[in-house]
Amino acid sequence: MENRSVNQSEMLNRIVRAVILIVVSLLLSIMSVSFAVHHMRLQFEDEFKAIADKKINQVCDLVKITVNGDEVIGDPASAAQKYGDVFSLMLAETSTNSFTTESYAMFLYSDGQLSLLLSHGADSADNFAVTQKDISEWLSADNSTAVIGGENFESVLVPIADSSGRCVAVFEYKCSFTPLDDLGDTLEGRILGAVIISVLAGIIIFVIQTLIPKMIRRSSKGGQRL
């Protein structure tokens, strides 16, 4: 009877140690894979955003060369029609599977006020960063481009000057990285899910391999007694 109690206590200790080992192994596996996947995701996003930054800057350089400030201030309505058609051709989206959402707008700047001339890819002028920032944050003495970043988006603002050098309009090209972020979340979730399933499957197989031989041995002993 005493030996039986000792055996049961030893078996219980083994079970507790096995459970602790399994839980620790599961947590370490999930944490290590999560860290590795998240690190690779950040590297991919950084490289992708660097390529997107290059494209945005190239677009804004083209806009700076293309738009004539004298035309904009001379006849804003005609300029909006003309450059709306030009931008539609020049900034046409050629990719069918993009990880970004891109939009642009041009605003007339007069007497410290902004008024929308044209936009594409946005429902409202309020979606653009230039309408939410002070003039001093994007307008400089040399009319240089300004970069405004936020959560999952980046905007480049291009002041447009007339022949006298006075800023008469501003063009904003906004790139949202929400689709890229959603893709990263989806991939991380799927990989972690696959890891958890693999670990649990390994645990189940280990338990089965451990218990079945013991059950077979007990069954054999019971048969011999009979």
Residues 122-134 pLDDT 10s: 888 888 989 888 8
Q: Is residue 2 part of a domain?
A: no
Identify the pLDDT of residue 105.
92
Question: Quick one: average pLDDT of 202-223?
Answer: 66
pLDDT, tens digit, 9 for 90 and up, residues 13-56: 776 777 777 777 777 777 777 788 778 878 877 887 788 788 88
Q: Mean pLDDT for the chain?
A: 80
Q: Is residue 80 part of a domain?
A: yes
CB-hemisphere CA count at 13 Å for 29? 18
Q: Is residue 112 part of a domain?
A: yes
Q: Is residue 147 part of a domain?
A: yes
Output the 3-class SS for 50-62: HHHHHHHHHHHHH
Q: How many domains does the chain have?
A: 1
pLDDT, tens digit, 9 for 90 and up, residues 79-119: 999 998 888 888 766 444 577 788 899 999 988 889 999 98
Structural domain that includes position 64: 46-181
Q: Is residue 83 part of a domain?
A: yes
The pTM of the full predicted model, rounded to 2 decimals, is 0.69
